[in-house]
């Protein structure tokens, strides 16, 4: 039982959509049938009223309201209601004494009249039921003129056939057609106008005015048609008033009221349209109604079109104002002399004003940074591009600061080609100009860095030979004191030159870094004692550190060099003493806040930030632009190399960070160093063990394309006790290693060499024997590292120029590891 009940429920649910569809269809059919019956009933009632206006024939009316009702119904609800017209026409005629067959024939003509008129209006005229366009009014009149003869021809032909000879066909046809046309002109606009919603809610004033107007129309129409003298056309002003104030609805209502009174009075033998024959009287009143209706409806349509045009113009103006007001670019309009007539908020923001009202009345020529021409704004530039032009010019803000703008403007002329006003768009290019300056500065720094790195690399090879040979001679105990003193000075000069080349390599970001995970607070703590010994007592050194500072990945020694260089620079900027402050903090750079001064940008992310702030002399704008260039210094000759800040710049950039300066003359300077955060724990620094005196044993394959470097290094290693096999390039070294790979304990190779570089040589040799130990020699340039400024952890290298003890100690550590 339960299964059967469930099955029944499933069937019920499956049938429910079909049942719903049947119900909906039945509901639509009922509504359709009700519409047909309602239209038929309206047609019959209107027809009985129309018969009262019959003048020539009992079923031929001077104004046939059913024609207007039928056309209005089909226009509003579609041609599918035509059966209602046919049914109503048949009933009204058969109740008017017409035989069923003739009544059916007349009904066909009445139906075709409504269908033809509807088809013409909807298919060709683009008709709108609001009647707010002249084309709609004229289309309705033309449709009535075309469709009314259809009904008249069929209807009068039916009457003529049933009546027999002597029937006045022509007069009756003309009266029938004109009566149907007048019915359409009177009733269709009235129904259509009142079927659509009012454009606005009427006010009390509108209601009072409409009441007064209706009273005047009724009273004056009755009085005028009963007056002994014909002044019926004087009612036109009141009808025009209705059309002007209340549009198509007022016009259609006024026409209907006046026409109803006119027809009623005429049918009673009252008024100016009763003094001639029946036919003349009929056509005179129809002419009166037709002229009145066409005039009033046309005037209402003209007014409606004008109001629509004004509304569209107002909307367009509002849209234009909105576009101008909310545009992201500056918009202006000036008179021929450059006086600002219109400005938008964007232009005010670009020029540093609080609002556009502050710009109106000013002369835009005053905004130019260097204006040497007459006050006309655009005229001096028109030869560049006729009436329109675009160019980049330098303006000045309200505070006097310069800005660059992209100006697109045009001159507007009258018919005599006289300039009436200028208008234009202004794009702020200041940010882009700063980026271009940054790019140019970056290119210049890049070129200088390449030059510095290349010179330092070649010079390091020479210094290696000079320093090593000097050490060889100084090792001779028989050397005279005078010569030893001379060579000692040579050695000192070599050391200074070595320090200079290392600074050049640092600026060019081509030095070799030994990165580790460090905490910048520890570096500041280690440097504090040295700073206090280095600086005068007049300089107060302060350190403010963040307890939770993020660690960074950098070369500890190089970062200390950066801090030392900045400290020395700050000391020189405070000859009378002051305060030097080191501050560490965490900084999060977001995408929308990644801009630095003068357009420089940073990569968004987490950074450990070091601030080095002094209370010294500060710097002007020109000095700031060149502060990180090598050999640029504001110190007196002989008191600075100009490499301190350049070195700091190179080290920070090579470490993946950013450095900037905030300063103004007389207000000190603050250097900000951003280093990327790392998630690794700080490395534990273990002091290296000195193994330079260890007994040297083993065979070394030495590779360097510089003969001088190769010879001095071979002499150092051989004297120390190592067996040394040399090669002048990578290809020769690889050939030696292939044949004797088990003989070599260590490979020492330069990186930049012809035929095969040191990286590739080490890779291929290690592939032949994975236990091979390698030390790289470096006097590096960017190309030598192949766009890598750091070695991987565990890579051994020795920088040129090197000392005997340093290289022997490094070799000893590698061989015992």
**C-alpha to C-alpha distances, 403 to 302, 359, 394, nearest whole angstrom:** 53, 17, 6
357-369 mean pLDDT: 78
Q: What is the pLDDT of residues 451-462, one digit of tens each?
A: 666 666 666 667
| Domain range list for the chain | 18-197, 199-326, 327-428, 444-506, 514-676, 699-816
* Helix (H) or strand (E) run with residue 542 in it: strand 539-544
Instruction: Look at residue 783 and tell me whether its pLDDT is greater than 50.
Output: no
Q: Are strands 402-413 and 419-428 parallel, antiparallel or unpaired?
A: antiparallel
Q: What's 467-520 look like in SS3?
A: HHHHHHHHCCCCCCHHHHHHHHHHHHHHHHHHHHHHHHHHHCCCCCECEEEECH
CB 183 within 8 A of CB 66: yes
* C-alpha to C-alpha distance for 746 and 762, rounded to whole angstroms: 11
Instruction: Look at residue 517 and tell me whether its pLDDT is greater than 60.
Output: yes
The answer to whether the peptide bond before residue 801 is cis (omega within 30 degrees of 0) is: yes
Under the banding of pLDDT at 50, 70 and 90, the label for residue 756 is confident
* C-alpha to C-alpha distance for 303 and 243, rounded to whole angstroms: 8
The percentage of residues in the chain with a pLDDT greater than 90, rounded to a whole number, is 20
The CA dihedral of 51, 54, 59, 60, to the nearest 10 degrees, is -120
Q: What is the pLDDT of residues 91-114, one digit of tens each?
A: 999 988 889 999 999 999 999 999
Residues 6+ apart with CB under 8 A from 810: 775, 796, 798
Instruction: Look at residue 9 and tell me whether its pLDDT is greater than 50.
Output: no
**C-alpha to C-alpha distances, 197 to 194, 203, 574, 611, nearest whole angstrom:** 7, 15, 84, 72
DSSP letter, residue 168: -
Sheet with strand 388-396: strands edge to edge: 340-343, 330-334, 419-428, 402-413, 388-396
760-769 mean pLDDT: 90
Under the banding of pLDDT at 50, 70 and 90, the label for residue 232 is confident
Comparing 283-297, 439-453, 502-516, the range with the smallest average pLDDT is 502-516
Report the CATH number of the 699-816 domain. 3.40.50.2300
Most confident of the following: 40-54, 57-71, 398-412, 525-539: 40-54
More confident call, 188 vs 451:
188
* C-alpha to C-alpha distance for 659 and 628, rounded to whole angstroms: 10
Under the banding of pLDDT at 50, 70 and 90, the label for residue 18 is low
Instruction: Look at residue 55 and tell me whether its pLDDT is greater than 80.
Output: no
Report the CATH number of the 327-428 domain. 3.30.450.20
Instruction: State the pLDDT at residue 796.
Output: 79
* C-alpha to C-alpha distance for 574 and 668, rounded to whole angstroms: 9
Q: Write down how long the chain is.
A: 817
Instruction: State the pLDDT at residue 494.
Output: 73
Residues 6+ apart with CB under 8 A from 329: 346, 425, 426, 427, 428
Task: Tell me the three state secondary structure of residue 582.
Answer: strand
Residue-averaged pLDDT of the chain: 79
Q: How far is CA 538 from the centre of its chain?
A: 55
454-472 exposure pattern, b = at least 16 Cβ within 10 A, e = fewer: bebbebbbbbbbbbbbbbe
SS3 content of the chain, % helix, strand, coil (to 5): 60, 15, 25
More confident call, 149 vs 370:
149
Instruction: State the pLDDT at residue 381.
Output: 45
86-94 mean pLDDT: 93
CB 515 within 8 A of CB 463: no
Comparing 413-422, 589-598, 756-765, the range with the smallest average pLDDT is 589-598
Q: What is the pLDDT of residues 463-486, one digit of tens each?
A: 777 777 777 777 777 777 777 777
Report the CATH number of the 514-676 domain. 3.30.565.10
Residue with tokens 């939770």: 548
Instruction: State the pLDDT at residue 591.
Output: 66
Comparing 39-48, 283-292, 370-379, the range with the smallest average pLDDT is 370-379
Most confident of the following: 47-61, 321-335, 435-449: 321-335
Beta pairing partners, 747 = 701, 774
Residue 410: closest CA among 333, 340, 348, 329: 333
Domain 18-197 has CATH 1.10.3470: no
Most confident of the following: 494-508, 599-613, 723-737: 723-737
| Assigned token pair, 154 | 């069929």
Q: Phi and psi of 352, rounded to 5°? A: 80, 25
CB 705 within 8 A of CB 749: no
CB 304 within 8 A of CB 133: yes
* C-alpha to C-alpha distance for 232 and 237, rounded to whole angstroms: 11
* C-alpha to C-alpha distance for 175 and 790, rounded to whole angstroms: 108
Q: What is the pLDDT of residues 210-231, one digit of tens each?
A: 888 888 888 888 888 777 657 7
Q: What is the pLDDT of residues 310-354, one digit of tens each?
A: 888 888 878 877 777 887 788 888 888 778 888 888 888 888 888
Q: How many degrees, rounded to 5, is the angle at CA 710 between CA 707 and CA 713?
A: 145
- Residue 428 CB burial class (10 angstroms; 0-12, 13-18, ≥19): buried
Under the banding of pLDDT at 50, 70 and 90, the label for residue 679 is confident
The CA dihedral of 588, 589, 591, 595, to the nearest 10 degrees, is 160
* C-alpha to C-alpha distance for 381 and 460, rounded to whole angstroms: 57
Under the banding of pLDDT at 50, 70 and 90, the label for residue 573 is confident
* C-alpha to C-alpha distance for 482 and 489, rounded to whole angstroms: 11
| Assigned token pair, 439 | 């790019």
654-663 mean pLDDT: 84
* C-alpha to C-alpha distance for 33 and 751, rounded to whole angstroms: 100
Count the Cβ atoms, other than its own, within 10 Å of residue 419: 17
Instruction: Tell me the residue ranges of DSSP E strands in 337-458.
Output: 340-343, 388-396, 402-413, 419-428
* C-alpha to C-alpha distance for 379 and 377, rounded to whole angstroms: 6
Instruction: Look at residue 669 and tell me whether its pLDDT is greater than 60.
Output: yes
Task: Tell me the three state secondary structure of residue 778.
Answer: strand
Under the banding of pLDDT at 50, 70 and 90, the label for residue 596 is very low
Under the banding of pLDDT at 50, 70 and 90, the label for residue 782 is very low
| Assigned token pair, 534 | 């280095």
């Amino acid at each position: 039982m339960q299964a059967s009940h469930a099955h029944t429920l499933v069937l019920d649910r499956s049938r429910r959509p079909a049942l719903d569809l049947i119900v909906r269809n039945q509901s639509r059919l009922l509504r359709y049938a009700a519409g047909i019956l309602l239209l038929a009933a309206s047609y019959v009632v209107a027809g009985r009223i129309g018969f009262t206006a019959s003048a020539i024939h009992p079923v031929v009316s001077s104004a046939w309201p059913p024609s207007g009702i039928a056309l209005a119904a089909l226009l509003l609800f579609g041609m599918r209601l035509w059966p209602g017209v046919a049914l109503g026409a048949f009933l009204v005629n058969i109740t008017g004494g017409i035989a069923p067959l003739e009544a059916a024939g007349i009904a066909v003509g009445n139906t075709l009249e409504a269908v033809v008129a509807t088809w013409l209006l909807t298919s060709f005229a683009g008709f709108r039921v609001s009647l707010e366009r002249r084309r709609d009014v004229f289309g309705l009149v033309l449709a009535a003129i075309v469709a009314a003869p259809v009904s008249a021809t069929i209807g009068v032909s039916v009457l003529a056939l049933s009546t027999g000879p002597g029937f006045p066909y022509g007069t009756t046809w003309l009266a029938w057609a004109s009566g149907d046309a007048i019915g359409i002109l009177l009733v269709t606009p009235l129904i259509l106008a009142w079927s659509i919603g009012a454009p606005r809610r009427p006010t009390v004033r509108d209601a009072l005015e409409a009441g007064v107007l209706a009273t005047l129309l009724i009273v004056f129409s009755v009085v005028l048609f009963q007056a002994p003298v014909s002044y019926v056309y004087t009612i036109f002003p009141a009808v025009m008033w209705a059309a002007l104030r209340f549009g198509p609805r007022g016009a259609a209502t006024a026409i209907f009221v006046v026409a109803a009174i006119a027809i009623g009075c005429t049918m009673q033998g009252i008024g100016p349209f009763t003094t001639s024959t029946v036919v003349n009287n009929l056509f005179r009143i129809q002419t009166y109604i037709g002229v009145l209706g066409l005039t009033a409806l046309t005037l209402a349509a003209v007014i409606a079109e004008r109001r629509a045009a004004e509304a569209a113009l107002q909307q367009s103006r509002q849209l234009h104002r909105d576009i101008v007001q909310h545009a992201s670019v500056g918009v202006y309009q000036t008179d021929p002399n450059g006086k600002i007539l219109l400005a938008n908020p964007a232009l005010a923001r670009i020029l540093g004003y609080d609002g556009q009202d502050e710009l109106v009345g000013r002369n835009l020529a005053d905004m130019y940074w260097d204006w040497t021409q007459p006050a006309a704004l655009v005229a001096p530039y028109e030869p560049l591009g006729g009436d329109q032009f675009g160019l980049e010019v330098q303006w000045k803000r309200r505070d006097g600061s310069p800005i660059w703008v992209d100006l697109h403007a045009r001159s507007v002329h009258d018919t005599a080609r006289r300039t009436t006003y200028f208008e234009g768009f202004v794009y702020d290019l200041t940010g882009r100009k700063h980026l271009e300056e940054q790019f140019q500065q970056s290119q210049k720094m890049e070129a200088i860095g390449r030059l510095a790195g290349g010179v330092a690399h070649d010079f390091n090879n020479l210094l290696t030979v000079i320093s090593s040979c000097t050490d060889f001679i100084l090792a001779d105990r028989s050397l005279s004191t005078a010569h030893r003193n001379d060579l000692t000075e040579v050695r000192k000069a070599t050391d200074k030159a070595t320090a200079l080349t290392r600074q050049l390599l640092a600026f060019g970001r081509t030095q070799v870094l030994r990165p580790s995970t460090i905490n910048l607070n520890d570096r500041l703590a280690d440097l504090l004692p040295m700073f206090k010994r280095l600086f005068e007592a007049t300089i107060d050194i302060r350190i403010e550190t963040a307890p939770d500072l993020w660690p960074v990945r950098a070369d500890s020694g190089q970062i200390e060099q950066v801090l030392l260089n900045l400290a020395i620079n700050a000391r020189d900027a405070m000859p009378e003493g002051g305060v030097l402050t080191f501050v560490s903090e965490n900084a999060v750079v977001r995408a929308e806040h990644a801009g630095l001064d003068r357009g420089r940008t940073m990569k968004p992310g987490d950074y450990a930030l070091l601030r080095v702030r002094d209370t010294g002399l500060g710097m002007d704008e020109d000095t700031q632009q060149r502060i990180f260039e090598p050999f640029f210094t504001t110190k007196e000759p002989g008191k600075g190399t100009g490499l301190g800040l350049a070195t700091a710049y190179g080290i920070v950039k090579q470490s993946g960070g950013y450095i900037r300066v905030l300063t103004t003359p007389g207000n000190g300077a603050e250097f900000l160093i951003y280093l990327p955060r790392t998630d690794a724990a700080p490395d534990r620094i273990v002091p290296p063990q000195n193994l330079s005196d260890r007994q040297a044993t083993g065979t070394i394959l030495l590779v360097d394309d510089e003969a001088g470097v190769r010879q001095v290094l071979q002499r150092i290693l051989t004297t120390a006790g190592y067996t040394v096999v040399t090669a002048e390039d990578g290809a020769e070294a690889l050939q030696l290693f292939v044949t004797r790979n088990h003989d070599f304990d260590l490979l020492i190779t330069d990186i930049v060499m012809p035929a095969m570089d040191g990286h590739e040589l080490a890779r291929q040799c290690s592939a032949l024997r994975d236990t091979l130990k390698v030390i790289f020699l470096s006097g590096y340039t960017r190309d030598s590292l192949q766009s890598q400024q750091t070695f991987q952890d565990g890579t051994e290298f020795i920088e040129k120029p090197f000392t005997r003890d340093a290289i022997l100690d490094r070799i000893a550590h590698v061989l015992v590891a």
